[in-house]
Amino acid sequence: MANVLRMLGIHKRFGPVKALGGVDFELEAGEIHALLGVNGAGKSTLIKILSGVYTHDEGTIEIDGQPVELGSPRAAILAGVATVQQHPELVPDCTGVENIFLGHEGRKPGLFARIDRTAMRAAAQKLLQRFPIEIDLEARVGEMPAVDREIVAILHALRNENTRILILDEPTSTLTEREKASLFQLMRSLRAAGIAIIYITHRLEEVFEIADRFTVFRGGRNVATLTSQEATERGISIPELLLDEKAGDLFPERDGKADGDVLLEAKGLGRSGLFSGVDFELRRGEILGIFGLVGSGVDELSKTLFGAIRPDEGTMQVKGKAVRFRGPHDALKAGIFLVPGDRRTEGLAMTQDVVFNTTVAHLGRASRLGGLLKFGRNRLDTEALARDVGLQPFELDRPVSAFSGGNQQKIVIAKGLFRDSDIYIFVEPTVGVDIGARAKLYTLIRELSRRAGVIVMSSDCDEVHGLADRVMALYKGRPVETGGWNASRDQLLSAGIMGARAA
Ligand SMILES: Nc1ncnc2c1ncn2[C@@H]1O[C@H](COP(=O)(O)OP(=O)(O)OP(=O)(O)O)[C@@H](O)[C@H]1O
C-alpha cells in the first residue's frame, strides 16, 4: 500500500534535552499504526511535530509524496492531519453537533446563537453517514458518556473533508470495555474509508486488538516496526522491546495476611446521589483495592474519605475514633493522604519545578525546617522520592510542563509520598504510566503498605486485582458482593462492569 506519510531523520531538541534523535516513520494509507514507548520516549513530541504544534530542527516530512511544511496547527489541518488530544477540549454546555463545528461556524463566525443550525445538523449527518456510529449528537456534551465525548472529538477533527491522517493520543484510558469496543468500531470504519490512524497507547494488549502495525520508540528513536501478526508469529514480547530488557513481574508479591491495627473504617457510608452503603475496614500492612468504572462513585468515595465531600449517611472511624471531616485539612491532620488521579486538574503547578511541586503542598512539614536548610532538605527529599518513582529525566529544576505525561503522573505520586501518613488513598495511580514505571510504582505502593494502610481505587480491574490484598467493587454507587474479599479477577470484573453479584 502507498505511504500517506513519510517522516525522515526527524530531530528535535528542547534546549539541552534531545527529545528526538533521528526518527524515521512511515504510515500507510488506511492503516491503524500504534506508537509505543515508555514515558519520555518521544511519542508525543513526534505527533506534536506532525500536528504543527512544534517545529522540528532537522528532517523532512512528506504527505502523499509531497514535502510539506507543518509550521502551525492550521497548516497541519490543511495538509490533512487531524489530531485528537488526550483530553479533548469540548464545551460541555453545547450539543455534540455544536461541538463538532466549534471554531468552524462558517458564515457567521463567533455568533454562535445565529449559526445556521440546520446546515450544521445536515453536515453532522453527512459525517455520520461516512462513518456510521450510533451516537446522539443532539445531547449536550457534558451529559454524554466518555466514549461519546471521544467520538465527538474525533468527528470534530474529521470535519475537514480532506483529512487523511488521524492522530489519537491514548483515547481509551478512561473508557470501559464496552465503550472501547464502540471506539474501535469507529476506528475500523475510518480505516475502511482510507484514513490512516496513528494510535498512541500504553495498553499493550490493545495493539493486537486494533493495530495493523506498531512502531516502538526508545530514547527518542524508532527502534522497531512490525505488524501485529509478525509479532505474534515470532513470539516477540512487546514489553521487552519497549524496555530493552526482560520484563519482570508487573505486580509485587503479596506479604500474606495483614493483621495490623485497623486504621480506617467505613460503615454504611454514603452521600445521596453519589454512592451509598459502603462498608470496609483498612488495616496497617495491607492494600485494599476498590474497582469501579468512571461514574461508579469511586472518585466521590475517595473525596469523601479525604474530607472534600461530606457524607450524609453512615460513619467513618480513624484508628477507632469517629471522625467528621470539615475539609481535606481535617483528613490530613488525621493522617490520611489522597493521591488524586487527574494530574491536570488536581494539584500540579505546571510552570514550577519538581522540588516545588513535591514539597510545597506540605508547607507544614517543609517550613518547620526554616530558610536555606529548608531548601536543602526539600531538595534532598525530592531527590529520594524522584528516585523512588523513577522520574525520567532526573532533573529536579525542570518545570513540570516539560516532563512527558507519564512522568507528570510520577511527580503527583512523589508529592503524595512526601508526607508521612498512616493512610494513603491512590486514585487511578498509573493512568498514562508505561509498563516499566508501573511495576516500579506498584512496588513502591507495596512498600508503603508495610508501614501504612493503602487504598487503591481504579477503573483497571487487573491493576486492582493484581496489586491488592483484598478487593471490592463499586457499581453505580453501590458496593457489589464479589464473593468475599478474595474474589477472582472475573468475579471482580463482572461486579464492577455489570453489577453482577457472585453466586
Ligand atoms: N516542552 C518541553 N520542554 C523540554 N523537554 C521536553 C518538552 N516536551 C518533552 N520534553 C522531553 O522530551 C522527551 C520526550 O518526551 P515526550 O513527551 O515526547 O515522551 P512520550 O513518549 O510522549 O512520553 P509519555 O508516554 O509519558 O507521554 C522527554 O525527555 C521529555 O522530558
The pLDDT score that the predictor gives to residue 1 is 65
The pLDDT score that the predictor gives to residue 181 is 85
Instruction: Read off the C-alpha cell for 297.
Output: 462513585
Is the pLDDT confidence value at 417 over 50? yes
Q: Ligand 1 centroid vs 386 CA: distance in angstroms?
A: 17
Mean pLDDT along residues 143-171: 87
Measured from the Cβ of residue 397, the count of other Cβ atoms closer than 10 Å reads 9
Q: How confident is the model at residue 210 (pLDDT cuts 50, 70, 90)?
A: very high
Q: Ligand 1 centroid vs 42 CA: distance in angstroms?
A: 6
311 lines ligand 1 (CB under 6 A): no
406 lines ligand 1 (CB under 6 A): yes
Nearest CA to ligand 1 atom 15: 40
The pLDDT score that the predictor gives to residue 463 is 92
Mean pLDDT along residues 275-300: 92
Answer yes or no: are the C-beta atoms of 341 and 431 closer than 8 Å.
Answer: yes
pLDDT digits (tens, 9 = 90+) for 232-261: 899 888 888 888 877 678 888 887 766 789
Q: How confident is the model at residue 372 (pLDDT cuts 50, 70, 90)?
A: very low
Dist CA 432 CA 344 (whole Å): 12
Q: Is 410 exposed, middle or buried (0-12, 13-18, 19+ CB in 10 A)?
A: buried
Is the pLDDT confidence value at 109 over 50? no
Reading phi first (left if > 0) and then psi (alpha if -120 to 50, else beta), residue 170 is in left
Q: Where are the beta strands (DSSP E) in 186-257?
A: 196-200, 213-218, 221-227
Dist CA 139 CA 285 (whole Å): 47
Name the nearest CA neighbour of 396 among 381, 416, 418: 381
43 lines ligand 1 (CB under 6 A): yes
The pLDDT score that the predictor gives to residue 279 is 95
Mean pLDDT along residues 284-294: 91
ipTM greater than cut 0.90: yes
The pLDDT score that the predictor gives to residue 467 is 94
pTM: 0.74
Answer yes or no: are the C-beta atoms of 224 and 237 closer than 8 Å.
Answer: no
**Domains of the chain (ranges, CATH numbers):** 3-243 (3.40.50.300), 248-335+422-432+453-503 (3.40.50.300), 338-420 (no CATH)
Dist CA 417 CA 468 (whole Å): 19
- DSSP class of residue 316 equals E
Dist CA 23 CA 42 (whole Å): 9
Instruction: Read off the C-alpha cell for 343.
Output: 494530574
Instruction: Read off the C-alpha cell for 157.
Output: 477533527
Nearest CA to ligand 1 atom 11: 19
- DSSP class of residue 308 equals S
Name the nearest CA neighbour of 100 among 139, 52, 72, 134: 139
44 lines ligand 1 (CB under 6 A): yes
Q: Ligand 1 centroid vs 189 CA: distance in angstroms?
A: 31
Dist CA 5 CA 224 (whole Å): 17
Q: Ligand 1 centroid vs 286 CA: distance in angstroms?
A: 35
The H-or-E segment that residue 87 falls in is none
40 lines ligand 1 (CB under 6 A): yes
Dist CA 191 CA 184 (whole Å): 10
Residue with cell 505525561: 405
Nearest CA to ligand 1 atom 13: 19
